[in-house]
Structure 1
Amino acid sequence: MTTKPYLTGHYIPAVDEITATGLTVEGHLPPELNGRLVRNSHNPKPGVTPTHWFKGSGMVHGIRLRDGRAEWYRNRWVRTPALDGAPT
Structure 2
Amino acid sequence: MVNTALKETDCRLKKLGKQISSLGEKFGSFIEGLVLPSMQKILNERFGMQIVSPSVRAYTNSDQNVAYTSKSKAICAPRPSPR
Instruction: Provide the TM-score with structure 2 as the length reference.
Output: 0.21
Higher helix share: 2
Higher strand share: 1
Computing the radius of gyration over CA atoms, which structure comes out larger, 1 or 2? 2
* Higher RCO (Cα < 8 Å, 6 or more apart): 1
Instruction: Provide the TM-score with structure 1 as the length reference.
Output: 0.21
